[in-house]
Structure 1
Amino acid sequence: MPNTILQSDRVALACLRRKQRVENDRRDRIFDDRERTIGVDKEALDKQIKEKKEQDEAQKAQKKAFESELQQNSRRAWLLERKEARDRQEVARATCGYWHQQQQRLQNRADSQDDDGGTEVSIPGLVGIDREYMERQQRQKVQLREWLTQQQNEKAAEREKQKLERQQNDQNRVAMDRKLMQLHVAMTDTRRALAVATKDFNQLKAEEKGQRGQLDDGEEPRPSVVGVPGLTAKSDWKPPPETQQQVIEFRKCQAEERKRMELERQREKERADLDQINLGRTALLLERKQGRMNKTLRQQLDSTNAQLAQIQKEQMPDIKRGQIDDTFFSFFNTCSR
């Protein structure tokens, strides 16, 4: 029989496919980040874009104003440089004219003096004449020589002082190394003593454990024919009253011996616990003492390093500067001509 599809089924199938296509299109619109408009604040996005454009325009305007101001400043600087150059040229031209005028006047006076009789007359206060130039040069050379000698002596004293400080630092370092070595030796001895005590304690515990195991193995001995007199291997044999009394006494002795061994074992356990506590306390005290010694040595080392750094910081500027004070410049002639 051929497969036949009814008209109603075709219509239902077409309607179902149309709904599926519509649903797929709706999902594409909703879940596509570029095309969807649901769940997006368009006004806020437009406002952000507008604010960004305004910021870009403000930055461009600010940059343009800065460039304009920079150009104006550059032009002003160029004009000031030209003005200063012109002023320097005018000052140089006036100075040359003045020198030429004074030289011409002096030449005229010298000619008139030669004509009068050749008498040499010194005119004080004239520009360009320095009669004490050579003497001042000699004094400056002497002062410079004395200053250089003083500087060399001070540098030699500074080097000697630094050498002594380095020696002192080396001595302090050696003393600190010795203290550290002594502390290391003390720590090594302490650890060795603690290891020996621990070893002895463990050996003692092992021996006690072995003895305890032997005692536990022989704790309930079976009565034998040799141990209890009068007993035989016959099952129907009844011991006499004297022999039964001896067995009772023997069992009482065994019970007392077990009690005594249990008490001795408990005492040994308490003694071992006490020894272990003492060893732990001793190790704790040694560790605290070592911590205090390390802290003290560290504080001493930090204090020494801080003092050396302060001394070096205080002395470094004087070495770089050369120890030049204001009294050196007072030796020179600073009076005007």
Structure 2
Amino acid sequence: MPTARLSHGDWEGAKMYKVDIQPDTKEATAIEARRNQEKQRQSRIFNTRYRTMGVDVEGLKSQVEERKLRENAEKQRDEAFDAHRIQYDKIAQMLEDEEQQRKRQLHKALVEFHQQEQEPATRREWDLQDPAALRKGQPARVSDDDPRCGPASMQCFAGEDMNGAARQKLLKEKNRRDLEEQRAEREKALADRKYADTLEDKKRIELDLRALELARLEEECRRAKAMAVADFNRAQAAECVEQQRLAQQREQDNNYTEIYNHLTGDILTENPDMARSLVGPHRMVPYLWKGMSPEQVEAVRRTQKEQCKENQRLREEERQREAEWDRQRHLAARAGMVMEEEVQNFHLQLRKSQDAYNQELAEAQKAHLQHLEKEVYTNTPTAQYHLQFNTSTR
């Protein structure tokens, strides 16, 4: 719905009566769009990096080239996929044609098999479908005992028993044979039961005799085993007594031999050769060594005296060397003190000259600042002057 515009008088009247007037939607939208454009322009202009460097044309070109290369690669890949898809479709079509051909051949072979091996005359339902069934069939009734004539066949009626006498004779004969067979079976069952009872009695007697024989044999085996165990125990006891006697004799002989070995051994006789170690001729076994001989003691004392003289000579040389080092250190310390005094004097002179030069620089800088403040910077800008910059893009 269009918005009504107010004249100058209406606007004054509206302000007089404080009427709420809705602003124009299109105008407000346009103002907001201009404000957004101004903000975007300010963000571009006030961005120092974008303003000084500009747009990377080479980078854009390289991106375009990369996009073209990527599109070409994707196009080539799609073409390759399409070629593979077409090839696979052809292969699938060929396989489908082969499958259809195989099905047709199988159907053809099945039809030929039905025609050759499964003729209508060999079917189970041919009796119902044979057109010559009436010519091949038999009459409805051959005799009274025709098995095809049942109770509901309406072919055999009461009072028409043609074979009644023969049937009665056959029935009596059959009953007689059944009775003879039953009597023979009963007699045979009695004879079998009597024979089985006789066999069971004989088997029970045989088992009893065998149990008695086994009991007798077991008793004899038990007596023989007891006698064998008793003989074995007596033999074991005699063997144990003999072994104990031999062990005591052997232990006594070993004790005598050990005592003799100790009495005649190198330990009690203190043989010095036993203390020599197998590691070297100058090594001794501690638990076998019985002390040094007088010649060894004299040799040790001579060696100690020589070592004392050698130690005195080494101490004298060490004392002389220490004295020489002390003299060298003293001379080096004196030379270092002299050099340190010279360095301190040099640093003092350098500090004095640097202070004088800094004083001259300070006076020159002070005079330069006074010149700038009094003659050059006569109109100093205020904070309001700096705030007027970078407020608009126009």
Question: In which range does the TM-score fall when normalised by the shorter chain?
Answer: under 0.3
The structure with higher relative contact order (CA 8 Å, sep 6+) is 1
Larger Rg: 2
Q: TM-score, normalised by structure 1?
A: 0.22
Q: TM-score, normalised by structure 2?
A: 0.20
